[in-house]
Structure 1
Amino acid sequence: MAETQEKPKGINLAVGAQYIKDLSFENSHFLTHIQSPPAQPETDVKFDVQSTPLEDGKTEVVLRLVGTVKSQDKPIYILDLSYAGLFILSGATQSMAEDIFMVECPRILFPFVRGIVTNITQDSGFPPLYLAPAIDFASIWHQKKSKKTDAPEKGA
C-alpha cells in the first residue's frame, strides 16, 4: 500500500537585482595626506541593514557601510555606501523572513560591497581598504532587535 505524503515546502530565496543605491566618497584633504602620509591612520567601519517590503512579493534589502579613516582626529576620507538587493522569498514564516532579510540577504550582498569598497578607496589614490571576508550580520541584527525592545514606548 503506497502512502502519499506531502513534502514540506522549502524556503526559496531568489535575488532579483543588486545595485548601488547611494555612494559618497569624501576625499577633501587628499593633497595634505599624500604629501605627508600618516603613520597609523585610524579606521572605523560601521554597518547597518534595512529591509523594505515592496510590491509583487519583493523586498528591498539595503546594506549600508560607513567607513571613516582618520589621522589625529582629522578625516582622511569618508566612504558612505548603500548597496541594495531585491529579494523574493517564499515558504518562510514572518519571523523566519525577518531573520533571512536581516542576516542572510546582507551575507549575499557583502562580497559585492567588499569589492566596491576596495576599488573605490584604491581608485581614490589611497591604499585599498580591505574589509574582513565575513561580517557577523546575525549579531548586528540581534543588537538592532534588542534596541527596539529596550526602547520605551511612546505615549506611555
Structure 2
Amino acid sequence: MSENQQKQPQFALKRVYLKDASLETPAAPGVFTKQWQPEVNLDINTRSSSLDPEHYEVVLSLTVTVKNEGEAAFLIEVQQAGIFLLAGLGEAETKHTLGAFCPNLLFPYAREAIDNLASKASFPALMLAPVNFDALYAQQQQKAAEAEKH
C-alpha cells in the first residue's frame, strides 16, 4: 500500500448489534384498562471506546419512559452498538464522527428495537422522531468548554 493510500480518510460500519435491551411494564395489567394518552420522555446518551488504533465501538443508549395518566406505563432501555473503522482523520474529526455521525447511523436500529419491544408488550407503535445528533454533540462540546473555564 502506498503512502498516499494510508493517509486517505477511511470510514466504515463493520457491525451493528443490540448490546442490551430491557422492558418494564410496572402498571400492567391495569394500564391496559385506561384511556391511552401517553406522555413520552426520551433520554439519550452515547459513548465510544477504542478497540484498536482504527476500530471503535460506539454505544447509543436510549431510555424511553412512557406515562399514562401520571403512572408509568412502560420503560424501555436499549443500547444499540456498532463497530466502526475510522482511519486517517484528525482528532477533532474523529471525535465528531464518534459523537455525532456514528450515533446518527445507529439511531434507526435503536428506534426499531424500541418499537418492537413496545409492540410485544401490546402497546401502540412507538416511532421516535429523528434526533439531531450534530446539535447534541455541539451542546455537549459547549458544556465541556464552559466546565473547563470554571
TM-score by length of 1: 0.85
Q: Distance in 2 between matches of 1:110 and 1:7?
A: 31
The answer to whether residue 65 in structure 2 is matched with residue 68 in structure 1 is yes
Larger Rg: 1
Question: Alpha carbon RMSD of aligned pairs, Å?
Answer: 2.0
The answer to whether residue 121 in structure 2 is matched with residue 151 in structure 1 is no
Identity over the aligned pairs, expressed in percent?
A: 28
Shift of 1:37: 3.2
Q: 1:8 to 1:152 in 2, by over 3 A?
A: closer
Shift of 1:73: 2.7
Runs (5+) with no aligned partner, structure 2: none
* Structure 1 residues 80-123: Cα deviation after superposition (integer angstroms, max 9, x where no partner): 11111011111210110000111111111111111111111111
**2:108 aligned residue (108, 111, 116):** 111
Amino acid at match of 2:38: P
Count of aligned pairs between the two proteins: 147
Tell me which residue corresponds to 1:138: 134
Q: Distance in 2 between matches of 1:55 and 1:90?
A: 11
Q: 1:112 to 1:94 in 2, by over 3 A?
A: same
Q: Distance in 1 between matches of 2:110 and 2:120?
A: 15
Q: Distance in 2 between matches of 1:131 and 1:42?
A: 13
Q: Distance in 2 between matches of 1:94 and 1:83?
A: 24
CA contact (8 A) 2:31 2:68 kept: no
Amino acid at match of 2:147: A
Runs (5+) with no aligned partner, structure 1: 1-5
Structure 1 ranges of 4+ moved more than 6 A: none
